[in-house]
Amino acid sequence: MKLLLDSTRCQGYGLCHEPAPELIDLDDFGYARILAASVPPGGEDAAAAAVAACPNSALKLVK
Amino acid sequence: MTGVISLLPEGWPGLLTPPPGTHRDPSTRTSYEPGGSCGCRDQGGRADGSYDSYNSYDPYNSYGSYGSYGSYGSYEHVSRYTAVGGYAPVAAPDALLDRIAAAGLRGRGGAGFPAAVKLRAVRDAPGVPVVVANGEEGEPGSVKDRWLLRHRPHLVLDGLRLAAAMTGAGRACVYLSDASAERAVRHALAEWPHDDGPRVDVVRTAPSYVAGEESAVVRRIDGGPALPTAKPPRPFERGVGGAPTLVANVETLARVALLHAWPDAATQVTGAHLVTLSGSHGRPALVEVAAGTRLGALAAACGHGEAAAVLLGGLFGGLHGAGWTGLPLDHEGLRAAGGALGCGALHFLRPEDCPVGVAAEATAYLAAQSARQCGVCVSGTGALSGALSAVTRGTADPDTPQKLLRWARQLPGRGACGLLDAAARITASLLDHFPGRLDEHGSRGCPRCAGPAAADGLRFSVTVP
């Protein structure tokens, strides 16, 4: 599974970080920074929660 | 006036010089434009839009301001182009593609991606492909693409025709913003009896730093704004009208045409680069040079021998100080040094230029050119430019170098296009190659970079010869 961020959609809400702190960090400006584009085994639920948390649908999970 | 210089060894087929063995005897030059027009293409079109005056242009006109090598000072006619093997029938497109792969031709738009890999990906993707000659050079310090389109449009159109044949494309486009280039391309299309291959459209865009980025090209051709989109998908997967699309730099296509016409010179054709030199005290120049040439030797050969440092790759390859003269002009060598060749534009710094001031101007320009689609780019370029400007004025916080270092590491790869990466690399390279220069500015600022950093990019701009 790959976690993809559309940077044109990320508005810096920051809601993705809490459900998946191992996968997503927030930078100094509040924008999401993907730490692990390839989701490690066991991280799928956290990744899916981060995708669901974004109010602007900036994240997606692809096979 | 920008010079045009070929530094290629004798006998190499190049883009700036006539093919080997085709030099004309000077006594036979009878078709010069009267009055010494010096081949200036901007004077070529008439107010009524006709182009008859081109017919009296001599493509081998080297007088005027182009230097002794400016053999394509004006416009290369179709007759001249076909006389040296141009527009020859494509007997075996797959064999040509294999030749491109074997020769290792890399794209000349900036990323240096292997041309054959891109061609095959487009050919093999489902759907009828579209091929695009990308002539929108957004880097202010680069002139090569506009020069090719203005002076040798047939070479580019031939490369586009060959790309269409290799990929099985059903549509072709020339994408550009330069008005003189558009006139030359339209004139060339009218001259060229293209009875094989798809229709060629000319799509004009407004010039900007990001307008030539491949996803921006696709979006503009499809009728939208010339702004990048998020990847995936890349244009080879889903491009113009949803079709697999080859977006190829015009120099890449010109080299494809040379490879077709000069099969025995494949190594030389792929082993040469068009570069644009500017800055320092020397004259700006469009130069064709063999890959691997040391940057110091290149600078010295073109009147930039006193340069103290260099900004590589247009604004994409970072600042390089001590030791820059020994760097080789090729993708691998510059990448190994933490730089990038990009589109081949080299901006030299004079000994009296402050690298912090140059970095402040470059990042201010990039911040102004941001498409403002990605929040991280707006914030990131703004923060880098603001902090560097504060350093030049002596008003930066004590922790500014630490912040710049953190941002330079955090920001690369985060925007939809490479603009943010360019700003981050300039900052990272400034910190890496000019240690201590930020601290020197202290609380007094720097008299050499006085005043607010210009955001217009004029320092880096070069006039097309």
Tens-of-pLDDT digits for all 465 residues of chain B?
A: 899 999 999 889 999 987 665 544 333 332 223 223 333 333 333 333 333 333 333 333 432 333 323 445 588 999 999 998 899 999 899 999 999 999 999 999 998 999 999 999 999 999 999 999 999 999 999 999 999 999 999 999 999 999 999 999 999 999 999 999 999 999 999 998 777 789 999 999 999 999 999 999 999 999 999 999 999 999 999 999 999 999 999 999 999 999 999 999 999 999 999 999 999 888 999 999 999 999 999 999 999 999 999 999 999 999 999 999 999 999 999 999 999 999 999 999 999 999 999 999 999 999 999 999 999 999 999 999 999 999 999 999 999 999 999 999 999 999 999 999 999 999 999 999 998 888 888 877 788 887 778 889 999 999 999
- Look at the alpha carbons of B327, B329, B332, B338 in this order and tell me if their dihedral is positive or negative: positive
3-class state of residue B25 by DSSP:
coil
Per-residue pLDDT at B1: 86
Full set of structural domains in chain A with CATH: 2-62 (3.30.70.20)
Task: Say what the ipTM of the complex is.
Answer: 0.96
H/E element, A4? strand A2-5
CB neighbourhood size of B396 (10 A): 22
Q: Does B383 touch chain A (CB under 8 A)?
A: yes
Tokens of B22: 């085709």
User: Nearest-CA distance from A32 to chain B in Å?
Assistant: 9
Q: List own/partner pairs for A43-52 with CB under 8 A and 24 or more apart.
A: A44/A1, A46/A19, A46/A20, A46/A22, A47/A1, A47/A3, A47/A20, A47/A23, A49/A19, A49/A20, A50/A3, A50/A16, A50/A17, A50/A19, A50/A20, A50/A23, A50/A24, A51/A3, A51/A16
Residue A11, CB-side half-sphere exposure with 13 Å CA sphere: 6
What's the CATH code of the domain at B207?
Answer: 3.40.50.11540
Residue B316, C-beta contacts closer than 8 angstroms, at least 6 positions apart? B110, B139, B340, B342, B343, B418, B421, B422, B425
Per-residue pLDDT at B61: 40
User: Nearest-CA distance from B426 to chain A in Å?
Assistant: 19
Choose among A7, A27, A29: nearest Cβ to B230. Answer: A7
Last residue in a domain, options B349, B375, B409: B349
Q: Where are the alpha helices (DSSP H) in chain A?
A: 44-53
B168 and B237 in one domain? yes
3-class state of residue B319 by DSSP:
strand
B396 and B259 in one domain? no
Choose among A7, A9, A27: nearest Cβ to B415. Answer: A7
Instruction: Report DSSP state, residue B106.
Output: B
- Look at the alpha carbons of B266, B267, B271, B272 in this order and tell me if their dihedral is positive or negative: negative
B204 and B188 in one domain? yes
Q: Best interface-test mutation with B: which of A31, A61, A62 has the largest number of B CBs within 10 A?
A: A31
The neighbouring-strand residues paired with B349 are B309
- In A, which residues are within 8 Å of B383 by CB distance? 28-29
What's the CATH code of the domain at B299?
Answer: 3.10.20.600
B400 and B378 in one domain? yes
In terms of Cβ atoms closer than 10 Å to its own Cβ (0-12, 13-18, 19+), residue B139 is buried
Q: Which of B12, B114, B120, B117 is nearest to B69 (CA)?
A: B12
Q: What are phi and psi of B449, to 5 degrees?
A: -120, 45
The C-alpha atoms of residue B386 and residue B370 are separated, in whole angstroms, by 14
Give a yes or no: residue B65 inside a domain.
Answer: no
Question: How would you list the strands of the sheet with B171-176, edge to edge?
Answer: B200-204, B171-176, B130-134, B245-249
Percent of chain A with pLDDT over 90: 95
Per-residue pLDDT at B74: 81
B284 and B167 in one domain? no
Q: Does B403 touch chain A (CB under 8 A)?
A: yes
B149 and B112 in one domain? yes
The neighbouring-strand residues paired with B133 are B174, B248
Q: Give chain B's domain count.
A: 3
What's the CATH code of the domain at B453?
Answer: 1.20.1440.230
- In A, which residues are within 8 Å of B377 by CB distance? 7
B253 and B120 in one domain? yes
Q: Best interface-test mutation with B: which of A7, A10, A57, A62 has the largest number of B CBs within 10 A?
A: A7
H/E element, B202? strand B200-204
Choose among A10, A28, A33: nearest Cβ to B375. Answer: A10
The C-alpha atoms of residue B68 and residue B372 are separated, in whole angstroms, by 44
Q: Provide Rg for chain B, Cα atoms.
A: 22
Give a yes or no: residue B157 inside a domain.
Answer: yes
Give a yes or no: residue B408 inside a domain.
Answer: yes
B188 and B291 in one domain? no
B359 and B345 in one domain? no
CB within 8 Å: A28 and B410: yes
User: Nearest-CA distance from A44 to chain B in Å?
Assistant: 20
pTM, entire model = 0.89
The C-alpha atoms of residue B61 and residue B35 are separated, in whole angstroms, by 13
- In B, which residues are within 8 Å of A12 by CB distance? 375, 379
Residue with tokens 């927030």: A26
Per-residue pLDDT at A38: 94
Give a yes or no: residue B51 inside a domain.
Answer: no
CB within 8 Å: B416 and A33: no
Q: Does B379 touch chain A (CB under 8 A)?
A: yes
CB within 8 Å: B230 and A6: yes
User: Which is it for strands B272-279 and B285-290: parallel, antiparallel or unpaired?
Assistant: antiparallel
| Chain length of chain B | 465
B432 and B383 in one domain? yes
B252 and B142 in one domain? yes
Q: Does B210 touch chain A (CB under 8 A)?
A: no
Instruction: Report DSSP state, residue B58.
Output: -
Distances (CA, A) of A37 to A33, B107, B438: 10, 27, 35
Question: Which residues of A make CB contacts under 8 Å with B?
Answer: 4, 6-12, 27-29, 31, 33
The C-alpha atoms of residue B122 and residue B224 are separated, in whole angstroms, by 22
Give a yes or no: residue B78 inside a domain.
Answer: no
Choose among B230, B232, B375: nearest Cβ to A12. Answer: B375
- In B, which residues are within 8 Å of A11 by CB distance? 375
- In A, which residues are within 8 Å of B374 by CB distance? 7-8, 10
Last residue in a domain, options B323, B349, B375: B349
Containing domain of residue B162, as a range? 93-263
Per-residue pLDDT at B448: 83
B317 and B289 in one domain? yes
